[in-house]
């Protein structure tokens, strides 16, 4: 019985962490799949959004949900400006230039946040409703993690329906599979990309805010978790919403379990597994075609 509770707790904690990873990484996966753009600054948008959400709640008296909506919209708007003014110039550029440009962007974001807000960690002020524990029948668990899982499931369902059932979703799938062909059919890839980039950054903002509970939120955030976001995307496959979902859950649970039972060498296993997996399937575990 104790083992059962342990297992349930581990699964819940891991799944909640996985949800945050998913919410942050899904935009990265879709934009990389669409344009092949190596966007190392994606975590930066998650950080900016996280700060917008936390500051809105702490200083401007926003409620939890309005703050989330504000973070989403503000980050999406900022990211569109970045995309149109800067990213768009580098779509046809070499990978190296994209890497340098986005690393530079990360540095700028880190320095600006440090100067404007300060280097300290910003805790997320949870509303009273989400604090404490909730009885789930098998086990009692932190309410916030359970809510997080609910939000994650709602988002993945929404995204899945959006990608599978809407016109824009079909265009995204077409463009990920074969960009040239999609362009020949009259799909406006540039506009499609701007919209997905904005949505993806907005999602990252939500993830940055929602995940501030256990990932923390400080100016070093985009560099600290860069490898994790990239691993999720690489394992899930570029441009695959469901693939990224499974990969995020897998890595969330694995990371949580390893940190608990192997607090020393946990991350070592994740890196090693990722390397082996990418050698076996360079297109990712759930990716379709070889890239």
Partner 1 sequence: MTAPSPGRAAHPAALALARRHRLRAWEPIPWVLAVAFYFAFPRHLGFGTELLITVLFAISLDLILGYAGIVTLGHAAFFGAGAYTVGMLAKHGIWTEPITGLILAALIAAAVGLGSGLVLLRTRGLTLLMLTLCTMALLEEAANLGHAYTGGFDGLDSLPIAPLFGVFDFNPLYPRTQYLYVLAALFLCFAFVRTLVYSPFGQSLTGIRENMLRMHAVGAPVRTRLVVCYTISAAIAGVAGGIWAQANAYVNLGTLGLDRAATVLIILVLGGHGRLYGAFIGAVAYMVLSHFLSKIYPTAWQLGLGLLLVVIALFARNGILGIGEAASRVLGRR
Residues that bind partner 1 (CB under 8 A): 32, 36, 38, 86, 89-90, 93-101, 103-112, 114-115, 223, 226-227, 230-231, 234, 238, 264-265, 267-268, 271-272, 274-275, 278-279, 282-283, 291
Structure tokens at 126: 């949870």
Nearer to partner 1, 33 or 71 (CB): 33
In the complex, the smallest distance separating the C-beta of residue 173 from partner 1, rounded to whole angstroms, is 19
B/e letters for 180-193, b = 16+ CB within 10 Å, e = fewer, are eebeeeebebeebb
Nearer to partner 1, 188 or 291 (CB): 291
Using alpha carbons only, what angle is made at residue 268 by residues 266 and 269, rounded to the nearest 5 degrees?
A: 75
**Do residues 16 and 245 touch, judged by C-beta distance below 8 A?**
no
Nearest CA to 205 out of 48, 97, 62 is that of 48
Nearer to partner 1, 212 or 238 (CB): 238
Give CA torsion, residues 102, 116, 220, 100, to 10 deg: 20
In the complex, the smallest distance separating the C-beta of residue 285 from partner 1, rounded to whole angstroms, is 13
Nearest CA to 86 out of 72, 65, 100, 71 is that of 100
Nearer to partner 1, 101 or 141 (CB): 101
Quick one: which H or E segment has residue 199?
helix 189-210
Structure tokens at 6: 């342990």
In the complex, the smallest distance separating the C-beta of residue 111 from partner 1, rounded to whole angstroms, is 4
Nearer to partner 1, 35 or 67 (CB): 35
For 95, other C-beta atoms within 10 Å of its C-beta total: 10
In the complex, the smallest distance separating the C-beta of residue 284 from partner 1, rounded to whole angstroms, is 9
Residues 6+ apart with CB under 8 A from 278: 234, 235, 284
In the complex, the smallest distance separating the C-beta of residue 267 from partner 1, rounded to whole angstroms, is 5
Nearer to partner 1, 60 or 271 (CB): 271
In the complex, the smallest distance separating the C-beta of residue 130 from partner 1, rounded to whole angstroms, is 34
């Amino acid at each position: 019985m104790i083992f059962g509770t342990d297992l349930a707790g581990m699964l819940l904690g891991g799944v909640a962490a996985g949800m945050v990873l998913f919410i942050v990484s899904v935009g990265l996966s879709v934009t990389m799949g669409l344009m092949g753009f190596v966007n190392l600054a994606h975590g930066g948008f998650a950080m900016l959004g996280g700060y917008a959400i936390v500051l809105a709640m702490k200083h401007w008296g926003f409620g939890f949900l309005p703050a989330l909506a504000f973070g989403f919209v503000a980050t999406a708007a900022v990211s569109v400006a970045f995309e149109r003014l800067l990213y768009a110039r580098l779509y046809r550029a070499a990978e190296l230039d994209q890497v340098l440009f986005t690393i530079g962007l990360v540095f700028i974001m880190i320095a600006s946040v440090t100067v404007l807000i300060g280097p300290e960690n910003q805790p997320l002020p949870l509303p009273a409703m989400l604090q404490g524990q909730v009885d789930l029948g098998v086990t009692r668990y932190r309410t916030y993690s359970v809510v997080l899982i609910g939000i994650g499931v709602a988002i993945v369902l929404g995204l899945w329906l959006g990608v599978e059932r809407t016109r824009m979703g079909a265009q995204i799938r077409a463009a990920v599979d074969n960009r040239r062909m999609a362009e020949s059919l009259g799909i406006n890839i540039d506009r499609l990309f701007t919209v997905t980039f904005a949505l993806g950054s907005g999602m990252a903002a939500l993830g940055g805010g929602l995940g501030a509970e256990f990932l923390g939120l400080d100016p070093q955030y985009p560099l600290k978790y860069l490898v994790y976001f990239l691993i999720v995307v690489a394992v899930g496959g570029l441009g695959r919403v469901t693939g990224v979902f499974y990969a995020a859950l897998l890595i969330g649970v694995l990371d949580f379990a390893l940190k608990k039972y192997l607090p020393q060498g946990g991350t070592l296993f994740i890196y090693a597994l990722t390397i082996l997996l990418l050698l076996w399937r360079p297109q990712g575990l759930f990716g379709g075609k070889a890239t």
